Amino acid sequence: MLDRSWYGRVLVERVEGFATEEQWRRAYREIVEFERTLADEGMIMIKFWLHLSVRRTAQAVQGAGAGSAEDVEADRGRLAQSRQAAPVQGGRGADAGPDRSQSSALVLVEAEDKRWARVKVVESVVAAIEAGMAARNLPVPPPPPA
């Protein structure tokens, strides 16, 4: 499992100005190469992009004690930059097209509601495992009776 830090250089460090263009472009290449290696070895890779509105993000940050209303307001200025840089397949940014990571599809999870987000993630994992089994000619168990 790789968390958001995997994309730190190409998203956070890029937007904050801590990485040069050469550094974050190299990081994209390294990510794609590593993920392709994992996929070539038979790994089932699923990427999730949990989308929160600015309002919900502010609530989460404040609820976790991770920042004040002023911190959230200051971060809003970087929101557009983050969306432009986001490594989302078929995404919003010029550098975020499907060519960024051929090894796996990205699942957009509407995460305003925690329960819904969790259900979607679990269902997506099950579907990916079943698809991986089918692709390897392994028997996929039938769904349980209703």
The per-residue pLDDT for 2 is 65
The per-residue pLDDT for 83 is 61
The per-residue pLDDT for 76 is 58
The CATH number corresponding to 4-135 among 3.40.225.10, 3.30.420.10, 3.40.50.300, 3.40.190.10 equals: 3.40.50.300
The per-residue pLDDT for 51 is 81
Dist CA 22 CA 64 (whole Å):
35
Domain boundaries, the chain: 4-135
The per-residue pLDDT for 86 is 61
The per-residue pLDDT for 122 is 95
* pTM over the 0.75 mark: no
Mean pLDDT, consecutive 10-residue stretches, the chain (146 aa), reads 70 85 89 88 86 70 61 59 56 42 70 93 94 92 88
The per-residue pLDDT for 123 is 95
